[in-house]
Structure 1
Amino acid sequence: MDFGLNFFPVIDPARKSAPEYYQETIKLAVAAESLGFEHVQTVEHYGSPYGGYCPDPVTLLSAIAARTSRIRLTTGAVIAAFNHPLKTAAKLSMLDNLSQGRLDAGFGRGFLPDEFGLFQVPMAESRARFAEMVDVCTALWSEDSVTWTGEFYRFGPVSLLPRPVQRPHPPVFVASATSAESCAAAGKAGHHLQVVPSVTSREQLREMLTAYREARAASDHPSRPRIQIKYTCYLSENRAEALETAERFERNYVDHMAGAVAGWAGTRSGQYPGYEKFVDKVRGYDFDAALAATKVLAGTPAEVRDQLAAIAGWYGDDLTVSIQVSPGHMPYEQSERTLRLFADQVMGEI
């Protein structure tokens, strides 16, 4: 099992400024590299405290690239529907060059109605736009000249500059929230996978991972499949302190998520079956139930090691667990203590 560091800024600007958040994120990424973490990753969201401090993961990861030399840099994920593939491929390739070949390119469909409204993109197009984005980017990275005539984009001939360092292209990750079908498609295409257990049941996530692994094995791709699974993590030698902190900042996350998913109350989409239930799920959030279901890592180092052993038993020991140690407006010193405690007494003991 490998471990990475995940940044998802769910922050009220009144509690922590953007410059403060960015500087703390870079410092944590530098520390993560020195402690042996495999990757850092961040998201793409717009217009609200739910991720809005990171509208462009490439910009933040480029700043991290300038301060590091080994740790991999992962978009988790670029939202296909909100970006033109020619520009996306070029920006990601530039990051691969700036980092000397450390990019893992994660792509996602997006799921918030309000964000689709901001970009005036129909949610009904998200799956097709996602598929075309990934195909265009891999073509631009891999081929000397590309002429593209697709459902949404037409251009060329064009030769992408700069060419990516990694050949034939950087590793491609597909972010999937609840869809076994999407996981199977990613496996068949030979892509890697990003999943978030907090938004799905254990049984559903098992089905998703089984669909991915079986499809990838059947397609006989030469590279080793990589699966990133994301958790928030709260650690202390004092169990009560860890759980109090976890409940407070998980509640902050849920409160901001409630505002972000509110658009689902009046939205229905065949592209997103069951997503209209997000509103009720958020309203019914219970920290104790989430902890019991291991949707969050929290407690003493020994307890978190036990949680990770359970996760490996449920989902496989070939995972890369990506932890978030800086949720919400948590003070930097507390985030760094968690990171170092995890590296020393959790990661170092597994």
Structure 2
Amino acid sequence: MNVTLFHLMSYADLDFEATKEYETVWMKLPNKFYDPVKGHKLYNRYLDELEYAETLGFDGVAVNEHHQTAYGLMPSPVVMASALARRTQRVKIAILGSALPLREHPMTVAEEYAMLDVITGGRLIAGFVRGIGAEYHTFGLNPTISHERFHEAHDLIVQAWTQPGPTSFSGKHYNVDYVNLWPRPFQNPHPPIWVPSQGSKETIDWAAHPDHRYTYLQTFSPAKAVQKYLQSYRDTAEQFGYEADDSQLGWAVPVYVADTDEQAIKEAREPFELFRNRLLKMPFEMLLPPGYSSRDSLKRIMAAKAMLSQDLTIEMAIDMGMLVCGSPATVRQQLESHWNEMHFGNLLTMLHFGNLSEELTRRNMDMFAKEILPGLQTMKRAAPAQASA
């Protein structure tokens, strides 16, 4: 299994008491509550933590994209990946991902990703997302055309990466007479493509298609929902006539390790509950505006998230598999149990969440790397027995 350190870069210094009157920290929270001096320290702290992951032996580091929110301070994950490109030597750098429909032009993404891939000597993982509904409010874009903009942008990017130029591209949203990428990607035919999702049927069908076979990542969700969506990917691949490899599946989950279960819960309680009940929370119509998903996908996502409309305690989150938390023995047991049920080939660990302090984040990373990481990296399913002659 490949294990990646995934960082959301939340605004951990938010005054939660002063902002409690606001329904959400997304889009509507006045930016007077952002202090650039504190932000300067946080950005550099978070980049240090990602760089430290290479020293600890992680297989990769991952950043993502959100806009106008204290939930995550990365409106441009390419900037974060660029900062990491020259400060790391071995780890894969995953951008999870650029929200293609929000970009003015996908050729910019193609160029920036190719630059990063060349600079790192082929260590880039190219993540593509549509962006959650709140991003469409932020940019004033029509969510009903997000799918077609996403697919068309993807097609143009892959063409730019793989077809000798100059070529041309003609679509509904993008028309380019000269598709002639300089530089071309380092990896051939292009960097691996990962697709994070909330569980949209359309996304699963598209990612699993034989023409793609992209790695599908289920984002922060209860373990039973994760298992359901990963199995849906496998079932879809089977309908297409092939067996999905474990490497095509991934799960992103917060993890916290301490000496004992009691200590872990005590230390993680406030940061996790702030993360889940304050930073993540937004009105349903902001998360999934009309037209953002098909009716079938909306039903699936609503069913999975119906139980999550209320605030959760850390104990509830652990029971639901939304947080892996405890002593090294407990965390190993929980992750091994989840892997035995799902057989995901990629685990994206969120070892910082909410306002978890730098001291506790580092200790969490150290304990995870020493006690948990080596065992996870050797986990794989046994090869099928060969029939005797």
Cα deviation, 1:216-267, whole Å, max 9, x if unaligned, reads 4646599974322111111100322211222211211123345544643894
CA RMSD of aligned residues (A): 2.6
Q: 1:300 aligns with which of 302, 305, 327?
A: 327
Instruction: Map 1:95-174 to 2 at 5 A.
Output: 95-113=116-134, 115-145=135-165, 146-174=167-195
Q: Equivalents in 2 of 1:94, 1:158: separation in Å? A: 16
Q: Choose from 172, 181, 192 the match for 2:215.
A: 192
Task: Work out whether 1:10 is the aligned partner of 2:10.
Answer: yes
Q: Structure 1 CA distance, aligned partners of 2:336 and 2:76?
A: 34
Change (3 A) 1:40 1:243: same
Which deviates more from structure 2 when the two are superposed, residues 90-99 or residues 285-294? Answer: 285-294
Residues 289 and 138 (structure 1), Cα distance of their counterparts in 2 relative to 1, 3 Å cut: same
Pair 107,270 (structure 1): closer, same or farther in 2 beyond 3 Å: closer
2:260 alignment partner in structure 1: 238
Q: Deviations over 1:66-96 (max 9, x none)?
A: 1111100001121122112111111111111
**Cα 1:282–1:18 shift into 2, 3 Å:** farther
- Which position in structure 1 is the counterpart of 2:32? none
Give the distance between the partners of 1:299 and 1:143, measured in 2 at CA: 50
1:201/1:33 CA distance change after superposition, 3 Å: closer
User: Kindly tell me: are residues 260 and 91 of structure 1, through their superposed partners in 2, closer, same or farther at Cα, counting changes over 3 Å?
Assistant: farther
Q: Which runs of 5+ in 1 are unaligned?
A: none
* SS of aligned partner of 1:10: coil
Letter in 1 for 2:125: D
Unaligned runs of 5+ in 2: 16-34, 377-389
SS in 2 for 1:283: coil
CA distance in 2, matches of 1:265, 1:209: 22
Closer, same or farther: CA 262–13 of 1 in aligned 2, 3 Å: farther
2:222–2:321 contact (8 Å) kept in structure 1: no
Sort the Cα spacing of 1:195 and 1:12 in 2 relative to 1 into closer, same or farther, 3 A. same
Q: Which residue of 1 aligns with 2:76?
A: 56
Native 8 Å contact 1:85 1:133 kept in 2:
yes
1:290 to 317, 322, 338: 317
Q: Is structure 2 residue 375 aligned with structure 1 residue 342? A: no
Deviates more, 1:225-234 or 1:66-75: 225-234
CA contact (8 A) 1:267 1:276 kept: no
Query: How many residues get paired?
Result: 345
**Per the alignment, in what secondary structure is the counterpart of residue 256 of structure 2?**
strand
Counterpart of 1:31 (choices 52, 74, 85) is 52
The 3 A distance-change label for structure 1 pair 199 and 223 is closer
Summarize the Cα distance change of 1:149–1:258 in structure 2 as closer, same or farther, 3 Å threshold: same
| Amino acid in the other structure paired with 2:77 | P
**Which string of whole-angstrom CA distances, capped at 9 and with x for unpartnered residues, describes residues 287-315 of structure 1?**
32210122111110100001111111221
User: Could you say if the C-alpha distance between residues 201 and 270 of structure 1 is closer, same or farther in structure 2, counting changes exceeding 3 Å?
Assistant: farther
Task: Report the AA paired with residue 314 of structure 1.
Answer: E
Say which SS state the counterpart of residue 169 (structure 2) adopts. strand
Contact 2:162–2:190 (CA under 8 A) maintained in structure 1: yes
Which among 251, 254, 273 is matched to residue 276 of structure 2?
Answer: 254
The percent of aligned pairs where both chains have the same amino acid is: 23
Q: Which has the larger radius of gyration?
A: 2
Relative distance call for 1:311 and 1:279 in structure 2 (3 A) is closer
CA–CA separation in structure 1 for the residues paired with 2:81 and 2:365: 19
C-alpha deviations, 1:5-43, integer Å up to 9, x for none? 001123255468222222122222222112221111111
The verdict on how the C-alpha distance between 1:223 and 1:238 changes in structure 2, with shifts beyond 3 A counting, is: closer
What is the letter of the counterpart of residue 90 of structure 1? E
- Higher alpha-carbon deviation: 90-99 or 206-215: 206-215
* C-alpha contact (below 8 Å) 2:153/2:174 kept by paired residues: no
Aligned partners of 1:22 and 1:158: how far apart in 2? 35
Is 2:301 the counterpart of 1:281?
no
Match of 1:44 among 21, 41, 65: 65
Secondary structure of the corresponding residue to residue 205 of structure 1: helix
Greater CA drift, 26-35 or 277-286: 277-286
CA–CA separation in structure 1 for the residues paired with 2:119 and 2:208: 29
**Could you tell me whether the CA contact under 8 Å between 1:129 and 1:152 is conserved in 2?**
yes
TM-score normalized with structure 1 length = 0.90
Q: Does 1:66 align with 2:86?
A: yes
